[in-house]
Structure 1
Amino acid sequence: MAELIYFAYGSNLHPLRLLKRVPSSRPLGCAVLPDHALHFDKKSVTDGSGKCRIGAEPDCRVHGVLFSLRADERPYLDRAESLGVGYFLEDVQVLNAAGEQVEAFTYVANPERLDPTVQPYCWYRDIVAAGARFHGFPADYVQSIARRPVWEDPDPARRARQHELVRDCLNWRPAEA
């Protein structure tokens, strides 16, 4: 089966979150996207809150993780990312932990969905921060995520489900191979 290399930088950073969406996903290691910055101003197609996006910005870096996944499972991720409406696919050149260039696909925000007035729900921000902590991103980068202003999710059932996912992510450890 063909394998794809995916660069995750938002809520898919945490392996548990991505495994729930794409069962074949497995982390390959950390990477950075140079000359880009992380923003939370992509308006969600489903709930109207702020989601992560990458934007070109000189002298900045977006920390992320490279994941391998089966090509036949990418449609699961496409659905989760509202491909064609919320995000589009783009190939990017990232630097892996050894400083080598690696080509991967990622999701870039549809410019029509950008809204500087939106904020992420607290659970979304916390999932992104949990992934950044899990992978040992620099402390100042993790803190810049964790201090992001948030909205409280008005849907109590979704809020409870997502806070449970945050707790699961914080406690999750990969199975020994």
Structure 2
Amino acid sequence: MAYFFAYGVSTDPERMQQEMGGYKSYQKAVLPDHACTFTYNPDYDGGATTLVQSQGDEALGVIYEIEESQLALFAEVDAEYALHKMQVQAGGELIEAYVLLPIEEETLTLPVSNYLERVRKGLMVHHAVEDVERYLQAGLARVTSSDRH
């Protein structure tokens, strides 16, 4: 078994079921020292959730327990991303999990409203509404205040 930390639209268990063919279990998790932002993705006609290093912040997500063989599916997701083993916090402990992160810095772009709603829906399955709203607003602010867009 392996653990995968999902953020963005993959926090929705139904989507993960469709994309990955299932999982053994899942629970809410955070990735320390990372924050949410949005980078251009043509598949979503706008910004898609991306994590960036940010000392003291926490990226909201979910950790899925999956089969080792499913990790190969992530290589097919997007050539612009790579799997990294990182420590995530779940259930009061640190767990080593795979995280899909961009290989290079990309252009920051605001997401379209239906994409943002899908991210919100997935995160609210696991995290408190006020935490999700604060988290997403901070991610949107990173885009609008950056010179990388």
TM-score bracket, normalised by the shorter chain, equals: 0.7 to 0.9
Q: State the Cα deviation string for residues 21-62 of structure 1 (Å, max 9, x = none).
A: 011324331111111111112x22545521111111112111
Mapped to 2, the partners of 1:129 and 1:146 lie a distance apart of 11
Written as runs of structure 1 = structure 2, the 5 A alignment for 1:1-177 is 3-41=1-39, 43-44=40-41, 46=43, 49-79=46-76, 81-82=77-78, 85-98=79-92, 100-112=93-105, 114-116=106-108, 118-135=109-126, 137-144=127-134, 145=136, 148=140
* 1:69 to partner: Cα distance: 1.4
Shift of 1:66: 0.8
Query: What residue in structure 2 maps to residue 160 of structure 1?
Result: none
Identity %: 22
Q: Which has the higher strand share?
A: 2
State whether residues 44 and 115 of structure 2, in contact with CA within 8 Å, keep that contact through their aligned partners in structure 1: no
Distance 1:9 1:47, change over 3 A: closer
* Structure 1 unpaired stretches of 5+: 150-177
Asked if 2 retains the 8 angstrom alpha-carbon contact of 1:13 and 1:128, the reply is yes
Q: TM-score, normalised by structure 1?
A: 0.69
The count of corresponding residues between Structure 1 and Structure 2 is 139
Structural RMSD (CA): 2.2
- Counterpart CA distance in 1 for 2:130 and 2:104 is 28
Q: What is the CA-CA distance between 1:111 and the residue it aligns to?
A: 1.5
Q: TM-score, structure 2 length as denominator? A: 0.81
What's the secondary structure of 1:129's corresponding residue?
A: helix
Larger Rg: 1
